Amino acid sequence: MSQMSTHYPDATRIETVNRHTLAIVVDNEPGVLARIAGLFSGRGYNIESLTVTETEHEAHISRITIVTTGTDSIIEQIKSQLGRLVPVHRVVDLTLTGDAVERELCLVKVVGKGDHRVEAMRLASAFGARTLDATLTSFVYELTGSTEEVERFIKLMTAVGLVEVSRTGVAAMARGAEGM
């Protein structure tokens, strides 16, 4: 094989790991979430966040939004593995369709007095967070925003007496006139 210079291909390339947001439309039947979550754990994929609720009650259809990470080839595998589950109707990679709107909601409880309490109020108003509950020593704020915004907000609140966080995970939708 003279035209073949080497028996082996190039050295292994390190592929970059990217974050993808997937929208999955499924039949809302018992066990469907276990099927999807189990697929991720069984095949060693990551779930960064997962949100699910029935979106069409008449047709019993739910929309699941999963944020996952992986190399391009792993993301491709994840999508085709999801696609072959019987109750899955569609899998759309919102990261590939470009510039999707991604939001999540978080609730934070901060406890403190004096300067900390004043600073917490200032930060909350700077981020545009809503006050859902207040006592003389505590606040519960609600913030809706991108994951990065939420992360920043939580990090700042940690310094002024954050005691509890609850987050929904990402809900996402492609921009523009076209529906999924």
Partner 1 sequence: MSETMTGAEMVIRALQDQGVEHIFGYPGGAVLPIYDALFHQDKVKHILVRHEQGAVHAAEGYARSSGKVGVVLVTSGPGATNAVTGLADAMMDSIPLVCITGQVPTHLIGSDAFQECDTVGITRHCTKHNYLVKSIEDLPRILHEAFYVASNGRPGPVVVDLPKDIQFTPGSYSRPVNNQHKTYRPAVKGDMDKIRAAIELMANAKRPVFYTGGGVINSGPHAASLLRELVRLTGFPITSTLMGLGAYPASDPQFLGMLGMHGTYEANLAMHECDVMINIGARFDDRITGRLDAFSPYSKRIHVDIDPSSINKNVKVDLPIIGDCAHVLEDMVRLWRQTAPQIDKVALKDWTNKIEGWRARNCLAYRPSNETIKPQYAIQRLYELTKGRETYVTTEVGQHQMWAAQYFKFEDPNRWMTSGGLGTMGYGLPAAIGAQLANPKALVVDIAGEASILMNMQEMSTAVQYRLPVKIFILNNEYMGMVRQWQELLHGGRYSQSYSESLPDFVKLAEAYGGVGMRCDKPADLDAAILEMIHVNRPVIFDCIVDKTENCFPMIPSGKAHNEMLLNDYLGETGTDIGSVIDEKGKMLV
Find the binder of partner 1 among 14, 16, 31, 44 (CB under 8 A).
31
81 sits near partner 1 (criterion: CB under 8 A): yes
* Burial degree of 22 (CB within 10 A; 0-12, 13-18, 19+): buried
**If you search the block for the tokens 């754990």, which residue do you land on?**
41
Q: Give the binding range for partner 1 (CB under 8 A) out of 76-84, 125-133, 141-149, 169-177.
A: 76-84
Compute, in degrees rounded to 10, the torsion defined by CA atoms 166, 82, 41, 108.
Answer: -10
Find all residues with CB under 8 Å of 130, minimum gap 6, and list them: 141, 142, 143
9 sits near partner 1 (criterion: CB under 8 A): yes
Q: Tell me how far apart the alpha carbons of residues 93 and 72 are, in angstroms, rounded to a whole number.
A: 12
Q: Tell me how far apart the alpha carbons of residues 79 and 61 are, in angstroms, rounded to a whole number.
A: 19
40 sits near partner 1 (criterion: CB under 8 A): no
Nearest distance from residue 9's CB to partner 1, in Å? Answer: 5
Q: Cβ distance 112 to 120 under 8 Å?
A: yes
Nearest to 175 by CA among 87, 97, 79: 97
3-state SS assignment for residue 97: helix
Nearest distance from residue 10's CB to partner 1, in Å? Answer: 9
44 sits near partner 1 (criterion: CB under 8 A): no
Nearest distance from residue 56's CB to partner 1, in Å? Answer: 13
* For partner 1, the closer CB: 37 or 107: 37
Nearest distance from residue 88's CB to partner 1, in Å? Answer: 8
Find the binder of partner 1 among 2, 14, 34, 115 (CB under 8 A).
34
80 sits near partner 1 (criterion: CB under 8 A): yes
Question: Which spans of this chain sit near partner 1 (rule: CB under 8 A)?
Answer: 1, 4, 6-9, 12, 27, 30-31, 34-35, 38, 42, 73, 76-77, 80-81, 83-87, 89
